[in-house]
Amino acid sequence: ETTGFKASQQFKSTNYQNVYNDIAQLIRDNEEHDDYIGCGPVLLRLAWHASGQFDVSQNVRGGAYNGTLRFDKELNDPSNAGLGYAYNLLKPIYKKYSDQLSHGDLFTLAGVVAVQEMGGPKIPWRYGRVDGDIETMPENGRLPDANGDAGYVRKFFKRLDFLKDEETVALIGAHCVGKTHLKNSGFEGPWGAATNMFTNEFFRNLLNEKWNLETNDAGNKQYNNDKGYMMLPSDMALVQDGSFKKIVQKFAEDEQAFFTVFSSAFSKLIENGIYFEKSTPILYFKTLDEQDL
Ligand code: DDH
């Protein structure tokens, strides 16, 4: 595969484990964010939205390569409401490493850090994204609509070059962490109990909770249960489609299977549209705990 943007070797001497550790420390230092959910979930969402505008049919635009989420116009896309907070958190880290780090690498690495520090799988990561100017920013409005049904979700992930339902279901399993906020998205509530631990709870809740379709205070329809958890219509789509549902059942029973598919799919997501030379190392990072930090 030699299409897309060529990864740069410019910052190959950067010690990315040090950058990882600084982001991980940021998560530790901001544990009170969002009523003690912490900032892991919002950093993961930042990495996803920095990558999730990709369109495989226009391989040159919309992935994480150009780091365009740093521009106000992209941060002000209604789909990105709430991510200014996450970008501001990362700014001091960018400053510290600015002559050794691109924004695209920082944003995607922050997602890897968030998943790993919240107890999720190891995610392989490569450097080489290069800041693009404002011309490289995709138009607003390319992120997914939470009111979509199974057909919509499948088609959306096809645009991101995910052709296997298993990858789509695993990626949406990131909704195990964090919550929706009425002021950001017009939806409200967490998907489960362990909002800052990366687990397969999302899939277990989809199958095992009793969900009621209700209209929330913003006038949007969402599924609620009696424990205060919620599901978006696009989440519920994963049990309304036979093929998706089988995969939800597998991931609900086998967390390791979820972790394995999530790791490879997330790694692909953050590398969409980028061409890496064979010599670019694939990096795996240690968590702070693993380093006794
Ligand atoms: Fe998501 N997501 N997401 N999501 N997402 C929201 C929050 C979070 C959709 C809609 C919403 C992924 C896929 C989809 C995370 C990660 C990922 C919110 C609430 C909405 C709405 C935002 C707010 O109010 O603050 C839709 C639609 C889809 C879809 O694909 C159909 C994927 C693939 C990921 C990923 O990381 C791989 C995370 C984490 C959050 C929680 C953020 C927080 O502040 O907490």
Task: Please tell me the distance between residue 134's alpha carbon and the centre of ligand 1 in angstroms.
Answer: 25
Query: For 201-233, what is each residue's pLDDT tens digit?
Result: 999 999 999 999 999 999 999 999 999 999 999
Model pLDDT, residue 62: 78
Q: Is the pLDDT of residue 185 over 70?
A: yes
Model pLDDT, residue 1: 52
Inter-CA distances, 185 with 69, 83, 157, 180, Å: 18, 11, 20, 7
Q: Which domain holds residue 225?
A: 150-257
Could you tell me if 260 and 164 are in contact, meaning their C-beta atoms sit under 8 angstroms apart?
no
Query: For 5-49, what is each residue's pLDDT tens digit?
Result: 999 999 999 999 999 999 999 999 999 999 999 999 999 999 999
User: Do 242 and 275 share a domain, yes or no?
Assistant: no
Query: For 153-179, what is each residue's pLDDT tens digit?
Result: 999 999 999 999 999 999 999 999 999
Task: Please tell me the distance between residue 143's alpha carbon and the centre of ligand 1 in angstroms.
Answer: 10
Model pLDDT, residue 29: 97
CATH code of residue 230: 1.10.420.10
User: Do 10 and 111 share a domain, yes or no?
Assistant: yes
Residue nearest to atom 44 of ligand 1 (CA): 42
User: Do 78 and 175 share a domain, yes or no?
Assistant: no
Residue 245 lies in a domain: yes
Residue 233 lies in a domain: yes
User: Looking at the annotation, which residues are catalytic?
Assistant: 49, 191
Residue nearest to atom 28 of ligand 1 (CA): 144
Atom number, ligand 1, closest to the C-alpha of residue 187 = 24
User: Do 157 and 246 share a domain, yes or no?
Assistant: yes
User: Do 95 and 203 share a domain, yes or no?
Assistant: no
Q: Which residues contact 96 (CB under 8 A, 6 or more apart)?
A: 22
Task: Please tell me the distance between residue 209's alpha carbon and the centre of ligand 1 in angstroms.
Answer: 20
CATH code of residue 73: 1.10.520.10
Residue 168 lies in a domain: yes
Query: What interface predicted TM-score (ipTM) does this complex get?
Result: 0.99
Q: Is the pLDDT of residue 2 over 90?
A: no
Give the pocket of ligand 1 (CB within 6 Å).
41-42, 44-45, 48, 82, 144, 146, 153, 171-172, 174-175, 177-181, 184-185, 187, 232, 234, 266
Atom number, ligand 1, closest to the C-alpha of residue 153 = 31
Task: Please tell me the distance between residue 33's alpha carbon and the centre of ligand 1 in angstroms.
Answer: 17
The share of the chain scoring above pLDDT 70, in percent, equals 99
Q: Which residues pair with 241 in a beta bridge?
A: none
Q: Token digits for 135? A: 């011309």
233-240 vs 242-253: helix crossing angle, rounded to 10? 100
Query: For 56-80, what is each residue's pLDDT tens digit?
Result: 988 767 799 999 999 999 999 999 9
Model pLDDT, residue 60: 64
Mean pLDDT value of segment 117-133:
97
Mean pLDDT value of segment 82-108:
97
Could you tell me if 137 and 68 are in contact, meaning their C-beta atoms sit under 8 angstroms apart?
yes
